[in-house]
Structure 1
Amino acid sequence: MATGRYTLFFDADDTIHRDVVPQVLARMDMHPTLDTAILFYSRQKRETSEILGMARIDQDLLLECLGGRDEAMGPPNAMAGLLAMNNFPWNKILRTERFRQAGLKFGKTQVHNDLLGHWHALLHARQVLLMNKTLCTHRVSKSGSNLTSRFNADRLQMFAALSELLDFLEDRPEWSRMYARQFWGLAQRMVDWAGPRLDPDLKTRFDMQYSDLLCRIHLADLARIRTQGSGGLAKRIVNHLIR
């Protein structure tokens, strides 16, 4: 339903850096094939107002793609590392018409529903713009009741979200082959993050649902993961399946 040339999905409890937005739009206006802009964000504790900075993995991925520059642009396959970023929607600006045509979707699950939208925003773009500027500040709270803080049965929906993303890739065999390493690496990282935080009585269900997801991996993709310098990831997948 967006009517502007550009769209930003944003949460009501975060803060946008208004001075940065016109700079991003000026670059996208100059280059009509720049469909997605991804910028830095900061985090702030609600209780103390302490600034935490970005999640380390997101910062490292963005800096790697920038390669020491303040700005970079390129096709999605050149930015594939960004698929492993946290799937926040609010550090991106999208070209509205491009994603209306592409059929931008977010997931159906209660948690991790931004995961599908994050991959859509990258893979459906003709060109991706990165800028070493902070677009927004995300306010976080350890004691909050938001979904991010829940590690009860709701968290098991992460496997439905990953399955939904895998369906999206398998409908596009070229992308499925090209980005298998990124998908399975992300799945492993999500498991490593959520598993230790999960309510203990859910551990068996968690492991079983992860095994069900892993059973969907194609042997050719597993071989590619092994030969693309991710032998450790391939070994962990195999060990989980045969234990």
Structure 2
Amino acid sequence: MTAPRGQQGAGAARSLALVIPVRNDARGLAALLRQAAEMGCFSQVVIADDASDRRVRRWHVPLSLLGCTTVLRSRVQGGAGQARNRALAAVGCSHLVFFDSDDLFTADLPPLWQELDGEDFDFCLFRHYDSRALAQGRLGQMPVDDLLWRMAGCAAGGLQMVSGLAAARLAETANYPWNKIYRTAFLREHGVRFSELPVHNDIAAHWQSFACAGRILASDRAAAVHAVREGGGRLTNRRSAERLRVFEALAEAAAAVRARHGTASVLMLALLRFACGLIDWVRGQIETGLQAEFDRLAAGFLGRELGRDGLSGWLSREDPVLALRVTLLMAQGTGRGQS
């Protein structure tokens, strides 16, 4: 068996792999593969077909990518997280980018990859365009993400190394899997994996990445267009009990942050702020009949975290406003916030 194109050994040149989880999205996959072929910066493509009704076949792949493309097929649907984990094992390139079949790159990806030549980094986070912002006549990300990039000092100024508070601010941005170029060995050395959940499978890997990375780069290039559509089967639109499992992903994220940075850290503060915002968002998404159970689970998650290693007292001193927000969410789940 020959090694995948771009297999890295000692002294080998850097190379970039494109990893695409897909289920029943032949049209989106075809558009993304055509774009990838035109860009000419990918040495390997790994397609993880998550039990599509009509399986992905190699003849879907443009001729110029055919020789470096691997198609993995799951017989049983396992979700995008499981598909990405399977695909990671097949990557032979020094670096990779996970990308969803229903999103597209911008023309900024090849120059970003070129700009990273010679840089030593674990992952590089880049900006994106969001279709919801475009629909509002704005070119960019959603307002909260744009604010966090500005607070981190990374909204302009080109490629830069980030750490400490700046990195924590960027960790609070929407936990997407496709806005980072990873060093493959970093993911493997630290066992960074996606949660194999129906939804929210990107949260743990995102926070594990920020917790474990020693060298994080941020680029103000917007290298992707993220499409969010109302209705349909996209994960964003799901309102069922699957959403209740978000606390499994958040618990994984908290464990990773604790293990690498301890309880009292700027990254833990960032995670708690993110978790509170996500809890509010999910509660507004799910079916009304699930809200009481969701509130109970939210209170349990937050209570467990605040009970670890004096986190509650430290949080009250470090960020009283956030401490109050956490307290109110816990009260909502225990009934103490109801009159």
> Which category describes the TM-score, using the shorter chain as reference length?
0.7 to 0.9
Q: 1 or 2 for the larger relative contact order (CA 8 Å, sep ≥6)? A: 1
1:166 Cα deviation after fit: 2.2
Aligned residue for 2:131, secondary structure, equals strand
132-141 vs 219-228, greater mean Cα deviation: 219-228
Closer, same or farther: CA 76–36 of 1 in aligned 2, 3 Å: farther
Are residue 149 (structure 1) and residue 237 (structure 2) matched? Answer: yes
Over residues 33-88 of structure 1, what are the superposed CA-to-partner deviations in whole Å (9 max), with x where a residue is unaligned? x221111111236xx8x876311111111222235523321235541111211111
Are residue 5 (structure 1) and residue 94 (structure 2) matched? Answer: yes
Count of aligned positions:
237
**Amino acid of the structure 2 residue aligned with 1:143:** G
Q: Is the 8 A contact 1:215 1:241 kept in 2?
A: yes
Closer, same or farther: CA 136–73 of 1 in aligned 2, 3 Å: same
| Seq. identity, % | 25
Give the one of 62, 73, 79 matched to 2:167.
Answer: 79
1:137 paired residue number: 225
Are residue 226 (structure 1) and residue 316 (structure 2) matched? Answer: yes
After superposing on structure 2, the runs of 4+ consecutive aligned residues of structure 1 that deviate more than 6 Å are: none
Aligned positions of 1:94-109 closer than 5 A: 94-109=182-197
Distance in 1 between the 2:329 and 2:220 partners? 39
1:219 Cα deviation after fit: 6.2
Aligned residue for 2:264, secondary structure, equals helix
Larger radius of gyration: 2
TM-score (normalised: structure 2): 0.64
Are residue 207 (structure 1) and residue 301 (structure 2) matched? Answer: no
Structure 2 unaligned residues grouped into runs of 5+: 1-89
2:275 paired residue number: 187
Query: What's the C-alpha RMSD, in Å, of the aligned pairs?
Result: 2.3
2:157 paired residue number: 69
**Amino acid of the structure 2 residue aligned with 1:213:** F
Distance in 2 between the 1:220 and 1:157 partners? 26
2:103 paired residue number: 14
Give the one of 127, 139, 147 matched to 1:60.
Answer: 147
- Where is the helix percentage greater, Structure 1 or Structure 2? 1
**Amino acid of the structure 2 residue aligned with 1:206:** F
Over residues 173-220 of structure 1, what are the superposed CA-to-partner deviations in whole Å (9 max), with x where a residue is unaligned? 634332321122111111111112321111110111011102212362
Give the one of 284, 291, 294 matched to 1:196.
Answer: 284
Q: Is the 8 A contact 1:42 1:51 kept in 2?
A: no
Q: Is the 8 A contact 2:208 2:256 kept in 1?
A: no
1:120 paired residue number: 208
Aligned residue for 2:167, secondary structure, equals helix
2:199 paired residue number: 111
